[in-house]
């Protein structure tokens, strides 16, 4: 089991404990004709399609093509797109694409950007900073 | 690729063409801590969690345990549970668990039972019989 898979399994459990039913996508999207997010969650009130990244760097780039696929899926499904990023030595932080900086080809998330975090039994809340 | 996988991929494409965004689950549920359906779909209006079976027999049995897991997921997610069955030489037919006969341990679907079928661009409609 790769590091990304382990991290994503950990995330799935955190989401479930935060009140969401969680649907995980197969690791490989090979041969897939239609987009689907890495994780799809709903608590009956809010639903989110989430693409996930883990990184040992301080910056994560997510291609605009990937985000466009995520947004296509979410529009058809009726859920909100979200990017979930896990930096080493830090937990998962979540960002709406529209709140991210972009480069020519990518959405960009840096370690010091303030996002949303999960709270057990509550769901997403804004990250606190020192 | 097994017959079940092929049939399920065919189903995923049919669902997409019928107006649903489709999320497929990994083939194996090994090591999974929480239930998730084989397929989860929504068109922004109706959402369904679907467990699927293919059979060369005239009768399909789905364990009450599996249906209970499906219902647990769907209640938390906020979608409707559905059973999707594909008999040989026939397309996919769909049933709400509450409309199925049960045995001591299983839900039972027979080939001659009238269910729901997919119509392109429309979604589910009641199966027509001769």
ipTM: 0.88
**Domain assignments of chain B as residue spans, ordered by start:** 3-27+35-126
Task: Considering only the beta carbons, identify the residue of B12, B19, B40 that sits closest to A23.
Answer: B40
Return the structure tokens found at A38: 């890495």
Q: Write the pLDDT tens digit of every residue in B61-100.
A: 999 999 999 999 999 999 999 999 999 888 899 999 999 9
Contact A76 B43 (CB under 8 A): yes
Query: pTM, whole model, 2 decimals?
Result: 0.90
Contact B22 A40 (CB under 8 A): no
Q: Which chain A residues have a beta carbon less than 8 Å from that of B13?
A: 33-34
How far B74 CA lies from chain A's nearest CA (Å)? 8
Task: Considering only the beta carbons, identify the residue of B13, B34, B78 that sits closest to A22.
Answer: B34
Contact B26 A21 (CB under 8 A): no
Q: Write the pLDDT tens digit of every residue in B34-65.
A: 999 999 999 999 999 999 999 999 999 999 99
Question: Cα(B54)–Cα(A65) distance, rounded to whole angstroms?
Answer: 35
Regions of chain A where pLDDT drops below 70: 1-4, 28-31, 130
Q: Does B20 touch chain A (CB under 8 A)?
A: yes
Q: Which chain B residues have a beta carbon less than 8 Å from that of A44?
A: 75-78
The H-or-E segment that residue A94 falls in is strand A92-95
Q: Does A25 touch chain B (CB under 8 A)?
A: yes
Q: Does B21 touch chain A (CB under 8 A)?
A: yes
Contact B23 A44 (CB under 8 A): no
Q: Which chain B residues have a beta carbon less than 8 Å from that of A26?
A: 24-27
Average pLDDT, chain B: 90
Contact B33 A23 (CB under 8 A): no
List C-alpha distances in Å: A128 to A12, A115, B12.
22, 9, 41
Is the pLDDT confidence value at B119 over 90? no
Number of C-beta neighbours around residue A96 at 10 A:
13
- CA angle in degrees (0–180, nearest 5) for B92-B39-B100: 55
What per-residue confidence (pLDDT) applies to A89? 82
Q: Are strands B106-110 and B59-63 parallel, antiparallel or unpaired?
A: antiparallel
What per-residue confidence (pLDDT) applies to A8? 85
Question: Cα(A81)–Cα(A83) distance, rounded to whole angstroms?
Answer: 7
CATH number among 3.20.20.140, 3.40.50.2000, 3.40.50.1220, 3.40.1350.10, domain B3-27+35-126: 3.40.1350.10
In this prediction, residue B9 has a pLDDT band, given cuts at 50, 70 and 90, of confident
Give me the percent of chain B exceeding a pLDDT of 90.
70
In this prediction, residue B130 has a pLDDT band, given cuts at 50, 70 and 90, of low
CATH code at A3-25+37-126: 3.40.1350.10
Task: Considering only the beta carbons, identify the residue of A26, A40, A73 that sits closest to B26.
Answer: A26
Give me the percent of chain A exceeding a pLDDT of 90.
70
What per-residue confidence (pLDDT) applies to A115? 93
What per-residue confidence (pLDDT) applies to B122? 80
Task: Considering only the beta carbons, identify the residue of B21, B26, B79 that sits closest to A24.
Answer: B26
């Amino acid at each position: 089991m790769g590091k990304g898979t382990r991290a994503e399994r950990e995330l799935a459990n955190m989401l479930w404990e935060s009140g969401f039913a969680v649907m995980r996508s197969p690791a490989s999207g090979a041969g897939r004709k239609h987009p689907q997010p890495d994780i799809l969650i709903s608590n009956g009130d809010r639903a989110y399609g989430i693409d996930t990244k883990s990184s040992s760097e301080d910056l994560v780039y997510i291609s605009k093509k990937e985000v466009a696929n995520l947004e296509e899926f979410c529009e058809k499904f009726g859920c909100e797109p979200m990017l979930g990023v896990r930096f080493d030595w830090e937990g998962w932080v979540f960002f709406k694409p529209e709140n991210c900086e972009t480069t020519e080809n990518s959405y960009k998330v840096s370690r010091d950007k303030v996002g949303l975090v999960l709270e057990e039994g509550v769901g997403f809340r804004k990250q606190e900073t020192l």
